Structure 1
């Protein structure tokens, strides 16, 4: 089973694509899908992970079906069939 990540702004530029499909199935966690993404696109790691390399940078947002995973179980949120994942860098307004 594959899960698709949608990447935005400089994250898409770094990855070389706005859509990246990873090997993650229902029952896996968002962390599993993120690990698969970073294995496939290691250039994202320093931009997405904190200094310890085991959590998200505070300004990076991960959405599952449009809901920030911080409002669910964080990176331990379980994936379900058909989930869409999105990775957003900090957004600056003006």
Structure 2
């Protein structure tokens, strides 16, 4: 499964696209854990001190925020899913 990372999250991960060992039948949370496992700088940016996803970080599966879906990070992955991680977005 491949993650697309944006803005400073890509900098913390070392790349804009990162492939992780997760696939159909696993969850978005499993894929996120795989992404963060060996990237402590990214984990510090994405997770709070309790190890929970920071509220301002957006996790998308196929263009939809998983936080607004019933299953959240427990959403099951399917073949062909696209995952993305966005930092807070502001503008004016």
TM-score, normalization: structure 2?
0.94
Structure 2: segments with no counterpart, 5+ residues: none
CA-based RMSD of the aligned residues comes to 0.8
Structure 1: segments with no counterpart, 5+ residues: none
1:7 equivalent among 5, 8, 11? 5
TM-score, normalization: structure 1?
0.92
2:76 equivalent among 78, 83, 92? 78
Partners of 2:40 and 2:22 in 1: CA distance: 17
Q: When you count strand as a share of all residues, which structure comes out higher?
A: 1
Partners of 1:44 and 1:81 in 2: CA distance: 25
